[in-house]
Structure 1
Amino acid sequence: MAPKDNLTAVLYGINDMRLEQRPIPVPKPNQVLLKMEVVGICGSDVHYLVSGRIGPFVVKKPMVIGHEASGTIVEVGKDVKDLKPGDRVAIEPGITCRTCYDCKSGNYHLCRDMVFCATPPVDGNLARYYVHDADFCHKLPDNMDLEEGALMEPLAVGVHACKRAGVRVGSIVLVLGAGPIGLVSMLTAKAMGASKVIITDLVDHRLNKARELGADFTVRIEKNMTENDIIKKVKSLLGEDPTVTLECTGAEQSVRVALQVTKSGGVVILVGLGKFEMTVPLAGALVREVNIRGVFRYNNDYPIAIELVKTGKVNVKPLITHHFTIEETKKAFETAKTGQGNPIKILIHANPEWKP
């Protein structure tokens, strides 16, 4: 008998999350139907819930939430050749046009016609069943589970940031911010050969997690610290200037620190998305030829992320701190909002067969 239960988490507006039944979608010829397994809560999901918007993206109509996900294929469209029912996949949440200049030149993440899960007005994938284009579903190896599969989305961000930074053997890396993206960036930098990684944050439990995951040094940012205080502390612990700085907070003070602390000729990667306009010490960075680069999601980075976990070079499991069923979605988001229980990565299990 065909399944009928497609319980779905839908954001109607600010602090208005509802669970409702929706029809089970039918895959197009190039798509697969997925029984959703694990969906992680991202900071952007919480931002949409709390504020109803991120920059120009505004929730104007009910939107299914969720984009960090894994699932099991239950049906494939007639044109799908490389996947079959029963395959477990990590779902890359952005679908591109595939024909524009950016797509054809290898920068598909910059496609102007990008359709991205849970970015208004596009629905996300926190549901029992969901359809997705097959070529953006990445098969998981046998030694990876579906929880790890859902974490390939944030890990791909870290991979893309470190690739953009040119992290290699001997790199001295500063990571500003020890949230989930800062932590996966740190893990990736270590896997790519960085000899020293130092990471900062305001919150002790995040820094404790960073040390558990292999950070060489941590810096607790106090509210009364100036940017000069932070710079001195970082250089004192490292004994030298970082050659690469990964700014993962989006906070203006943190961006200012990044531009000043990085070694002359080094690289600053702006991963965190903060205010549209900031006041930063740009001239000082330019005369020292500090390379300043932005990051937007990822580009051909899922296969690398999967390989890093498959081969044991990166372990994302310690990032997982909380588990909820899809019926507990509101509770899961409340935990993410309040920070109660010191969450790092919160996972929601969409499959009713899941047992804690």
Structure 2
Amino acid sequence: MSAAVGEIPESMRCSVLRAAGELEVQQRAVPRPAPREVLVRVGAVGTCGSDVHYFTHGRIGRFVVREPLVLGHEPSGRIVAVGTGVDASRIGQRVSIEPGVPCRRCRYCHRGEYNLCPDIAFFATPPFDGAFSEYVTIADDFAHPVPDSVSDDAAALLEPLSVAIWANRKAGTGLGSRVLVAGAGPIGLLVAQVARVQGAAQVVVTDLDAGRRATALDNGATDVLDPRDGDPAARGVDVDVFVDCSGAPPAVTAGIGAVRAGGTVVLVGMGADEMTLPVSSLQSREITLTGTFRYAETWPTAVQLAASGAVDLDRLVTAHVDLDHVADALSPDPAAAHVKIVVRP
């Protein structure tokens, strides 16, 4: 550690997932920044559906919790120490952390597709610890400065905002686009907001919950639909882009049916590992179908959207908890009752 501000403690508190449904607050050594790394005192960490899934099931697909794991991959905070090779003037800087550091050497990294790097070290993805702790280290170029006009909560939520930016990039959303979004959770709401910022003329959001549909109207949606009232296409919805943020097979099938010939479908929500798709419809109408996996080079845009007020992240935060009550935030029922719960270590 080449430079630090004040006294850095030897130990810190962390919320550790020991097994599915079992969290424990532990004392661990405060990490020391390696060369080209910074040490961040964590100010806020957003909770995510993946955290809930790891807490509930102990795994997501091929990623299995085999050793104690610190969850949380949406952190913000303040740099309190830097490793060698990092300008000491960064100490004291408020930052939003991009939680996945790629190898920088593989063919995907060289193509700028570092989100697809097979050796990426991503917070809260086994075996890499996340940020439900008092301190974390991160590569210096993945600690993005944020202005004081962006709150700690909003700086943490630049991560889900980046998911929404990436989804809209993959969708090709632009001026006059007509967009359908399935799912009015945090990601769906942010996809809707970003779509409107990028010039979409129509953003229709579907969700089973009436409260979430109402929230969507305050977060970029021009129209909302209850899927139980019929498929969007049967109700006259005809869009250029469909973004699924639900992961529900019926929602995916219904959304595809509302996309114009030559349009685009983007799968963001993680639900069933396999599902049946209307292949003949996709083929005969030349619809582009793609998925998303995290993001790449989105933080500069995310910072600008939050700092300018073009996207309102603070309004998504509906509750706060400390490290002693992370389990309350990750229990499926309480989590479903909120838009976004933020942990403040």
TM superposition score normalised by structure 2? 0.95
Q: Find the counterpart in structure 2 of residue 230 from structure 1.
A: 231
* Whole-Å separation in 2 of the counterparts to 1:49 and 1:332: 10
State the distance in 1 between where 2:233 and 2:8 align.
63
1:36 to 34, 42, 47: 42
- CA distance in structure 2 between the partners assigned to 1:79 and 1:106 by the alignment: 24
Distance 1:82 1:286 in 2: 56
Q: Which residue in 2 is equivalent to 1:298?
A: 295
Supply the distance in 2 between the matched residues of 1:341 and 1:99 (Cα, whole angstroms): 40
Aligned partners of 1:5 and 1:128 also within 8 Å: no
- Aligned counterpart for 1:94 among listed residues 87, 91, 100: 100
The residue correspondences of 1:59-98 to structure 2 (distance < 5 A) are 59-81=65-87, 84-98=90-104
Q: Does 1:348 align with 2:343?
A: yes
In structure 2, how many angstroms separate the alpha carbons of the residues matched to 1:83 and 1:174? 45
Counterpart Cα distance in 1 of 2:98 and 2:83: 18
State the SS of the aligned residue for 1:49.
Answer: helix
Residues 1:160 and 2:157 are matched in the alignment: no
Matched letter for residue 194 of structure 2: T
Paired residues of 2:190 and 2:219 also in contact (CA < 8 A): no
Report deviation, 1:292: 0.8
Distance 2:305 2:82 in 1: 28
Is the contact between residue 329 and residue 335 of structure 2 (CA under 8 Å) also seen in structure 1?
no
How far does the alpha carbon of each residue in 1:55-114 deviate from its partner, in whole angstroms, 9 at most, with x for none? 000011100111011010000111113861110111011010001111011101110111
Aligned counterpart, 1:318: 315
Q: For residues 340 and 60 of structure 1, what CA distance do their matches in structure 2 show?
A: 24
Pairing 1:259–2:260 present:
no
1:121: how far off?
1.4
Q: CA deviation at 1:233?
A: 5.2
1:247 aligns with 2:244: yes
Ranges of 4+ aligned residues in structure 1 off by more than 6 Å: none
> Residue 126 of structure 1 corresponds to which residue in structure 2?
132
Partner of 1:353: none
Query: 2:16 and 2:122 mapped to 1: Cα distance?
Result: 16
Return the match for 1:110 from 97, 116, 136. Answer: 116
Match of 2:333 in 1: 338
1:176 and 1:201 in contact (8 A); partners too: yes
Residue 30 of structure 2 corresponds to residue 24 of structure 1? yes
Of 281-290 and 155-164, deviating more is 281-290
Task: Identify if the C-alpha distance between structure 1 residues 326 and 31 changes in structure 2 by more than 3 Å, giving closer, same or farther.
Answer: same
> CA, structure 1 residues 15+83, in 2 after alignment: closer, same or farther (shift >3 Å)?
farther
Aligned partner of residue 343 in structure 2, secondary structure: strand
2:257 counterpart letter in structure 1: Q
> What are the ranges of 5 or more consecutive residues in structure 1 without an aligned counterpart?
351-356
- Please give the secondary structure, in 2, of the residue aligned with 1:230: coil
Cα displacement (A) at 1:219:
0.7
CA distance in 2 between partners of 1:94 and 1:115 (Å): 5
Shift, 1:314, TM fit: 1.0
- Aligned equivalents of 1:333, 1:270: Cα separation in 2: 24
1:219 & 1:82 partners in 2: Cα distance? 52
SS at match of 1:35: strand
Which deviations, in whole Å up to 9, do the C-alpha atoms of 1:312-335 show, x marking residues without a partner? 21111111101112222222223x
- Cα distance in 1 between the residues matched to 2:89 and 2:197: 29
In structure 1, distance between residues paired with 2:336 and 2:256: 34
How many residue pairs end up in the alignment? 339
Q: CA-to-partner distance for each residue in 1:274-320, whole Å, 9 max, x for gaps?
A: 22221110111111111111111101011111111112211111111
Cα separation, partners in 2 of 1:197 and 1:14, compared to 1, 3 Å: same
TM-score by length of 1: 0.92
The structure-2 alpha-carbon separation of the partners of 1:76 and 1:258, relative to structure 1 and needing over 3 Å to count, comes to: same
Three-state SS of the structure 2 residue aligned to 1:2 is coil
Percentage of pairs with the same residue: 39
In angstroms, what is the RMSD of aligned CA positions?
A: 1.5
Aligned counterparts of 1:83 and 1:46: Cα–Cα separation in 2: 37
Shift in alpha-carbon separation, 1:36–1:242, aligned structure 2, 3 A: same
Q: 1:219–1:233: 8 Å Cα contact kept in structure 2?
A: no
Aligned-partner SS, 1:155: helix
Counterpart secondary structure, 1:265: strand
